[in-house]
Chain A
């Protein structure tokens, strides 16, 4: 048993290789992958203060809400939405959501790109920057 040095060197190389994603991110990745992007609110959205639900809920549930809006509007024809706080909204992505959040690139896309999701809303629905 006099291969002690070789074994230790081998172990060090092995652990460096296995832990590559961790130390690489610690040293080089701090700027992009490890920090979640900040969304920017337009002046109109800031002024309104609340969305159709709490910010925390919107962050986690907006896809389910949009799905429900879509089905209720298209299939049941119900085009008025009364939120939890009693306010009335037109359930429409282009006309209601994008009216306040008209900055798609800085609001929608930042998180979607970070999370690597590619929603196909925009294949059909328009957003303000596009129609201008």
Chain B
């Protein structure tokens, strides 16, 4: 038999082709077998659940006339305890490292642009409860380089995916309301009673109010609203018949720093 270079190259070429095509066929058949499922059952599916509360744009109206110190403390307690927000005590407590989702402040800090020259005494000293405004045009979302902070297009909640947060704190610089806090250290030792239904955070992530997205999913209103004795009203801002819109139609309400164009979803009746 004549052994030429030409014949060798021909044989080599055919074998490479054969092996390649064969392994591709094997791979394809294995893939289709897997896609069909082991027993042809339906593929797993996700859904919202029957009890979930849904809206186009969740919003809140705070009636500041009904607020007092003990009520604010009660709302903060309700929120922070179910969300495993650390409250360090003693030596580990540092004022510049406080983590807060909802907290009381004064009128002049909550509404610095109002420029009211002779503010009524009771308004000036009444506690104003502030939280993440869940802005319609959230600057924190634009600042986040990993898309860990995002706006849920379905209901307008500005959410955080703690799994993706790299702790760069751009969002904290971008938020004009100081609604975000950073975990400078492991928060777990400072959580008194851990709520097993909600995760904690780890060192190096930012956290903030999530409008109780996990409670809305099971048909419950946010914890602060439940604890507020009627001072906080929660509902769909895009629904003219909702509680919040009815309240806004009757009462004059202001928002925090409206000149910045973030369009907060939290309104304040003064």
Contact = CB atoms under 8 A, between A and B. Distances in A.
Interface of A: 52-54, 57, 70, 72, 74-86, 91, 94-95, 120, 123-126, 128, 131
Q: Which 10 A-B pairs have the closest CB atoms?
A: A80-B49, A123-B202, A78-B46, A124-B199, A84-B41, A79-B217, A82-B45, A131-B196, A80-B47, A74-B161
B11 interface: no
A54 B38 contact: yes
B159 interface: yes
Nearest to A123: B202
Contact of A85 (B41, B194, B197, B199): B41
Interface in B24-52: 37-38, 41-49, 52
Interface in B181-217: 194, 196-197, 199-202, 213-214, 217
Contact of A124 (B45, B196, B201): B201
Interface residues of B, number: 31
A77 B41 contact: no
B46 A75 contact: no
A124 B162 contact: yes
B44 A126 contact: no
Contacts of B38: 54, 57
Interface in B142-171: 150, 152, 154-155, 159, 161-163
Interface in B66-120: none
Contact of B47 (A75, A78, A94, A120): A78
B42 A91 contact: no
A85 B123 CA distance: 59
Contacts of B45: 81-82
Given A94-B196, A95-B197, A125-B199, A81 B162 contact: no
B52 to A, nearest CB: 7
Interface of B: 37-38, 41-49, 52, 150, 152, 154-155, 159, 161-163, 194, 196-197, 199-202, 213-214, 217-218
A70 to B, nearest CB: 6
B194 A126 contact: yes
A76 to B, nearest CB: 7
A79 B52 contact: yes
A76 B46 contact: yes
A57 B39 CA distance: 13
A81 B44 contact: yes
B200 A124 contact: yes
A78 B214 CA distance: 10
Given A74-B159, A77-B154, A79-B49, A124 B202 contact: yes
Given A83-B44, A124-B202, 13 more contacts: A53-B44, A54-B38, A75-B161, A77-B154, A80-B47, A80-B49, A82-B46, A84-B37, A94-B196, A94-B197, A124-B200, A126-B196, A131-B196
A82 B48 contact: no
B48 A80 contact: yes
Given A54-B38, A82-B47, A84-B37, A77 B217 contact: yes
